[in-house]
Chain A
Amino acid sequence: MILESIDEELIQSHRSGDNAATALLVQRHLARVRNFVFQLVLNHETANELTQEVFVNVLRSINGFRGESTFETWLHRVALNAAYKFLQRERRYQKFLDDDLKQRDTATSLRPDARLLEAEQQVRITKALGTLNPELRAAIVLTAIQGMSAIEAAELEGCPVGTIYWRIHEARRLLQTELKDWIE
């Protein structure tokens, strides 16, 4: 509640042209939103670009924020939509994923064995998430990683809670199949 109140104050100051407030507002939320976007698009460079786009759009259209949800929820909703739009429009996420994985393979090839094993697991998880369609991926990211309840995730997605439960179930089933060597 205190945090939300801080956001409200910063938004008011941002509206009145206080650059320091804008910087604080960005600083408070940037990392979390950017990590969330990465978990959806699975490419670091794309995540950076989309996150920048999200913040610019949100801060420039801040007058449209009526406080019906928290600022953080609003940001996540805009970020989710931006990621969906990117994934659906470009239909290139597999290509980006492959490119990113190639970079990672190179980057981790000189690490010690223990780190190599860990790095390999990272790559496998990224690949496994990449096999999910955007809706299933978002459902598991929102709940298992972002820590939202199914109700909160449904509110963010704008769909029935039952749909979210099904998506989580399906995402888990597919991920457990993809990662069975690591889970067992």
Chain B
Amino acid sequence: MNEHKHETDNTLDSMLQDWATAQKITLQTLERLQQNVLTAVNAPTPTSPGVKLRVRLPEIFAVCCTIAALVLATGILSINSRRASDQQLARISSRSQREQIEELWSKTSALFGSDLEWLCDLDGELLLGVKGDHATESEKHVYLNLLVRKYDSDTDRWVNTWSGRIVCPLGKPVDFASSDNQSSGSFWVQTLPDGRFVVSNWMKWSELPQISGPIDNQSSPGELQIVADQLIEGQHVQVLQQVWLSNRLI
């Protein structure tokens, strides 16, 4: 029995070793990977400019709004520093910050009436979406804080590279795209029976460290969550997210 067991073990080990040999990295890929590693290790971390976004949707008329002055007056764009420590991160996700975006939504809604469907404060640029013909009244809106940050090894700190605050209808996707197609994304949020949210983001920035692709996750109301944690072109990049409903501040 033991002999038989040893035989099968040896056969299995031999198969695994052959498999490992066959799956070895090719010389070409190895050379490319080595180059990527060395570039990433030696490269300084540049500071990326913000993304300029314009909405371009056939069904939803989006306005790049001139009420930036109003926004500034209410202190909404207080996240204007590109450098932020974890302490600053906590401040960004704080109750007062959440209240500010709710206040912005409230004031902007008052200006546009019930036609206003969604709002995005994308790194300081305010985009508004107006309802299409098929929009329904009295829908619930959900609030999202999004933050992209990268690790600066020189200063041993996280550096915020982009922030976005979005108000969108629950269960309805909100899409945006820049006019030059350099940046695009979509958000969709729905509630679960237990009160948590299912959030589906698709985002792409070409000027930032190139993040592209879907981010699907579940989130508790008000919880600041790291929803993406990747090494992109040698830069350690994180996407953080916070979601809540207006009628249940955390």
B23 within 8 Å of A by Cβ? yes
In the complex, the chain A residue whose C-beta lies closest to that of B151 is A60
How near does chain B come to A64, taking the closest CB pair, in angstroms? 12
**Bound state CA distance, A27 and B30, in angstroms?**
9
Whether B23 pairs with A145 at a CB distance below 8 angstroms is no
Which among A22, A30, A52, A145 is the interface contact of B20 at CB below 8 angstroms?
A: A145
CB pair B12–A179 under 8 Å, yes or no, is: yes
CB pair B30–A30 under 8 Å, yes or no, is yes
Alpha-carbon gap, A59 to B40, bound state (A): 10
- Are A53 and B231 within 8 A (Cβ)? yes
A179-B42 CB under 8 A given contacts A38-B23, A53-B231: no
User: In the complex, A93→B95 CA distance in Å?
Assistant: 37
Asked if residues A183 and B16 are in contact (CB atoms below 8 Å), the reply is no
Q: Would B33 and A48 count as touching, CB distance under 8 A?
A: yes
Q: Answer whether residue A19 sits at the interface, using C-beta atoms and an 8 A cutoff.
A: yes
Residues 110-148 of A at the B interface (beta carbon under 8 Å): 118, 121-122, 125-126, 140, 144-145
**A180 CB to closest chain B CB, in angstroms?**
9
A35-B33 contact in complex given A49-B231, A172-B9, C-beta closer than 8 Å:
no
Q: Does A23 contact B (CB under 8 A)?
A: yes
Contact of B30 among A34, A39, A126, A140 (CB under 8 A): A34
Interface size class of B (residues with CB under 8 A): 20 to 34
Is B40 touching A183 in the complex (CB atoms < 8 A)? Answer: no
- Known contacts: A38-B25, A49-B231. The answer to whether A144 contacts B12 by CB under 8 A is yes
Complex Cα spacing A34 to B24, Å: 9
Residues in B neighbouring A51, C-beta threshold 8 A: 33, 37
Q: Is the CB of A27 within 8 A of B231?
A: no
Which B residues, 15 to 41, have Cβ-Cβ distances below 8 Å to chain A?
15-17, 19-20, 22-25, 29-30, 33-34, 36-38, 40-41
B226: nearest chain-A partner, CB-CB = A89
Mark out the residues of chain A between 28 and 78 whose CB falls within 8 Å of any chain B CB in the assembled complex: 30-31, 34-35, 38-39, 44, 47-49, 51-53, 55-56, 59-60
CB of A28 to closest CB in B, whole Å: 11
Contact in complex: A144, B17 (CB < 8 Å): yes
CA distance A145 to B9 in the complex (A): 12
| B234 contacts A by Cβ under 8 Å | yes
**Residue A175 at the B interface, CB < 8 A?**
yes
B11 on the A face (CB < 8 A):
yes
Taking the complex as formed, is A176 at the interface, i.e. its CB lies under 8 A from any CB of chain B? yes
Given A26-B38, A52-B37: A31 and B19 interface contact (C-beta under 8 Å) = no
Q: Does B47 have its Cβ within 8 Å of any Cβ on chain A?
A: no
Check: B13 CB closer than 8 A to any chain A CB: yes
CA distance A30 to B19 in the complex (A): 19
Q: Are B19 and A126 in contact (CB under 8 A)?
A: yes
Given known A31-B30, A52-B234, A53-B231, contact A144–B13 (CB-CB < 8 A): yes
Assess whether B181 is interfacial by the CB under 8 Å rule: no
Residue B153 is within 8 A (CB to CB) of chain A in the complex: yes
Assess the B12–A176 pair: CB atoms within 8 A. Answer: yes
Task: Tell whether, in the assembled complex, residue B22 and residue A52 are in contact, meaning their CB atoms are under 8 Å apart.
Answer: no
Does B19 lie within 8 Å of A183, measured CB to CB?
no
A175 lies within 8 A of B12 (CB): yes
Cβ contact within 8 Å between A52 and B36: yes
Contact between B23 and A48, CB atoms less than 8 A apart: no
Q: Are B34 and A26 in contact (CB under 8 A)?
A: yes
Contacts of B17 in A (CB 8 A): 144-145
- Decide if B8 is an interface residue (CB 8 Å cutoff): yes
Chain A 5-19, CB-CB to B under 8 Å as 1, else 0, gives: 000000000000001
Query: Is A26 touching B37 in the complex (CB atoms < 8 A)?
Result: yes
Question: Do the beta carbons of B25 and A59 come within 8 Å of each other?
Answer: no
B231→A179 contact, CB < 8 A: no
Rounded to whole angstroms, the CA-CA distance of A55 and B30 in the bound complex is: 13
Which residues in B have some Cβ–Cβ distance to A below 8 Å? 8-9, 11-13, 15-17, 19-20, 22-25, 29-30, 33-34, 36-38, 40-42, 153, 229-231, 234, 236
Task: Knowing that A26-B38, A30-B30, A144-B13 touch, tell me 7 more A-B residue pairs with CB under 8 angstroms.
Answer: A19-B38, A23-B34, A34-B30, A55-B41, A179-B15, A183-B8, A183-B15
